[in-house]
A and B are shown apart, each in its own frame.
Chain A
């Protein structure tokens, strides 16, 4: 069974701070995605990365895919209360659209 481990599990920070969350596996992924989920809602796709070493930026969010395509990170600059939520990574090894999800990082940004 492929496992995607996310760290930290929980993170509580003050508004304006920077943070990084990690997604690690022993498997090589052909594609990896990051989602954000708010209470009572389904996850919403933030980004998809497919190339080892790829870096994508979405406003204050920076996503990096590891060179070996086994890990990924999400860095948030100057966090805001609106960034609060559950961040999930998901990967597929087979090039299909069947993704395995990590257990998530629950982020709380305090005003």
Chain B
């Protein structure tokens, strides 16, 4: 089925380790997003890319970097993971009709 694919689904990191969350969409959408979801906090925007070649900070960008590799792929990198980054991370893409979300990456930093 068409949609947004995120990998990995689960990850445990030690404080200070780095990792990259991968996201790919096959709907030819221009815009892509990374959100984190924490209990009681809703979904908060980390970074977004309005189109290939552009990226912008969202509400909570500190501690993260992104790369819009091509129109399909948008990756999120944690350079030095901290326990405060324990969360569920969602990638999404959109055109005119609203977001299509991936199924999420559950990240635990110990």
Residues of chain A touching chain B, judged by Cβ–Cβ distance below 8 Å, are 1, 4, 33, 35, 40-45, 48, 88, 90, 96-104
State which size class the interface on B falls in.
20 to 34
Pairs across A and B, CB under 8 Å, 13 listed: A1-B59, A33-B98, A40-B103, A42-B104, A43-B90, A45-B97, A88-B43, A97-B50, A98-B48, A99-B99, A102-B42, A103-B41, A104-B42
Asked whether any CB of chain A lies closer than 8 Å to the CB of B101, the reply is yes
How many A-B pairs fall under 8 Å by CB? 53
A98 to B35, CA, bound (A): 11
Contacting residues, chain A, for B59 (C-beta < 8 A)? 1, 100
Q: Does the CB pair B99–A43 fall under 8 Å?
A: yes
Contacting residues, chain A, for B45 (C-beta < 8 A)? 98-100
Main secondary structure of the interface of A (DSSP, over half): loop
Residues of chain B touching chain A, judged by Cβ–Cβ distance below 8 Å, are 4, 31, 33, 35, 40-45, 48, 50, 58-59, 90, 92, 94-95, 97-104
What's the nearest-Cβ distance from chain B to residue A102, in Å?
6
Q: Does the CB pair A103–B42 fall under 8 Å?
A: yes
Q: Does the CB pair B42–A101 fall under 8 Å?
A: yes
